[in-house]
Structure 1
Amino acid sequence: MGKNRLEAFSDGVIAILITIMVLELKVPHGDRLDTLGPLIPVFLGYVLSFVYVGIYWNNHHHLLHTLHKVTGPILWANLHLLFWLSLIPFTTGWMGENHFTAVPCALYGVVMLMCAIAYWLLQQAIMAAQGADSLLRRAVGRDWKGNASPLAYLAAIPLSFWSPVLATSLYVLVALVWLVPDRRIEHVLD
């Protein structure tokens, strides 16, 4: 199988996830600015998750550019990643509706951790399919961001029960680190 079908399916799922997240922003009753106040936590959760989904979409796009053929393990690893990404709208909505309280923040961290693990498993499946001479393996290298992110999520999950604000700050920090464009794959492809 070629990579185009895998990429199109993944892009479609990710587009649906963003659509589901924006539907959580309910239109307030009233025409004054103060009617928007209760939506602020939901909106902030949406922004954070939109950035995360965008980061995954961007990196997934680059990841698939290293593929020449799609194997069964790659298909399953990709589906595994999409499963965890599909839980982002739920945890985002729950976190925003409950004003970033402990349990929703912790569950958000669990989902982010599982997304990171699933992405790593997809990378491993691609590198295994490419063999010892893996283009992706050369591009990824030591991958400090990929290694540090799950550690930050692991720290934020229990931290949510002590200080949801600090836990959320860790989620924001990880997102900010990933907003810096990762050009490793582009450089190897050139």
Structure 2
Amino acid sequence: MRTSRLEAFSDGVLAIVITIMVLELRVPESEEGHVATFADLVDAHLVPVIFSYILSFVYIAIYWNNHHHLMSTADHMSGSIMWANMHLLFWLSLVPFSTSWLGESHGAAAPAALYGLILLMAGVAYFVLSRMIIRAGGANSTLARAVGRDRKGEISPVLYALGIVMAFVWTPLSYALYVVVAALWLIPDRRIERLVAAQPDPTE
């Protein structure tokens, strides 16, 4: 099986994840006779909800972008790659739940810790998927040559784990650590882009 079917399925799942998250957003409640204004959007109850949505949207966008780059290095699919991909999608499918709980929790520790745990497990699943692609392609595959020592991949789990612990110490620091990890991954891996671009087009 070629990668196109797996990519299409993954794209569909991530699109549904984003749809579920946006449907969780609720318009500000107002009393009878109250004129709605933009000030209602910065209500203390809405700011955490909007923050959690934006952060989760960025994470899903990052995974979608990097998943595309990852799949571009695979020539064919194997059973281990397909199951590893499903493992990744399982954790990403839990993001809407953790996002909703985080936004409605008003800084509680448990939702922040669970949010970080799901992000951590999604990161682990992404790592496993990349290893399965390398195993299928061999030591000289495009991904194996591109990855090398993955510093971002080494740092991210540490920051996630620290964020989970900090959720029970000072929750804002936990949020900050999750934002830092997102910032690290905003730019896709340029090494993969360069190697894929350098490969000859098989259609020519």
Q: Which residue of 2 aligns with 1:152?
A: 159
Equivalent position to 2:134, from 127, 131, 155: 127
What TM-score does the superposition give when structure 2 sets the normalisation length?
0.90
Q: Which residue of 1 aligns with 2:16?
A: 16
Residue 183 of structure 1 and its aligned partner are, at CA, apart by: 1.2
Q: Larger C-alpha radius of gyration, 1 or 2?
A: 2
Residue 43 of structure 1 and its aligned partner are, at CA, apart by: 0.5
Q: Which amino acid aligns with 1:102?
A: A
- Larger deviation: 48-57 or 178-187? 178-187
Distance 1:138 1:169 in 2: 33
> More helix by proportion, 1 or 2?
1
Q: Which amino acid aligns with 2:28?
A: P
Q: Which amino acid aligns with 2:128?
A: L
* RMSD between superposed Cα atoms in Å: 1.0
SS at match of 2:168: helix
The reply to whether residue 90 of structure 1 matches residue 88 of structure 2 is no
Given that residues 102 and 115 in structure 2 are in contact (C-alpha distance below 8 angstroms), is that contact kept between their aligned partners in structure 1? Answer: yes
Given that residues 134 and 143 in structure 2 are in contact (C-alpha distance below 8 angstroms), is that contact kept between their aligned partners in structure 1? Answer: yes
Deviations 1:47-105 (A, max 9, x none): 00000000000000000001111000000000000000001110011000112320000
Given that residues 100 and 164 in structure 1 are in contact (C-alpha distance below 8 angstroms), is that contact kept between their aligned partners in structure 2? Answer: yes
Equivalent position to 1:67, from 63, 69, 74: 74
Q: Which residue of 2 aligns with 1:111?
A: 118
SS at match of 1:162: coil
What TM-score does the superposition give when structure 1 sets the normalisation length?
0.97
Given that residues 84 and 125 in structure 2 are in contact (C-alpha distance below 8 angstroms), is that contact kept between their aligned partners in structure 1? Answer: yes
Given that residues 81 and 118 in structure 1 are in contact (C-alpha distance below 8 angstroms), is that contact kept between their aligned partners in structure 2? Answer: yes
Q: Which amino acid aligns with 1:187?
A: R
Distance 1:79 1:100 in 2: 31
Gaps of 5+ in 2: 31-35, 199-204
Paired residue total:
190
Moved >3 Å (runs of 4+): none
Distance 2:81 2:187 in 1: 27
Distance 1:140 1:100 in 2: 37
Q: Which amino acid aligns with 2:40?
A: T
Deviations 1:143-189 (A, max 9, x none): 10111101100111111000110011000011111113421111111
Q: Which residue of 1 aligns with 2:26?
A: 26
Given that residues 138 and 144 in structure 2 are in contact (C-alpha distance below 8 angstroms), is that contact kept between their aligned partners in structure 1? Answer: no
When residues 181 and 3 of structure 1 are mapped into structure 2, their CA distance, relative to the original with a 3 A threshold, is closer
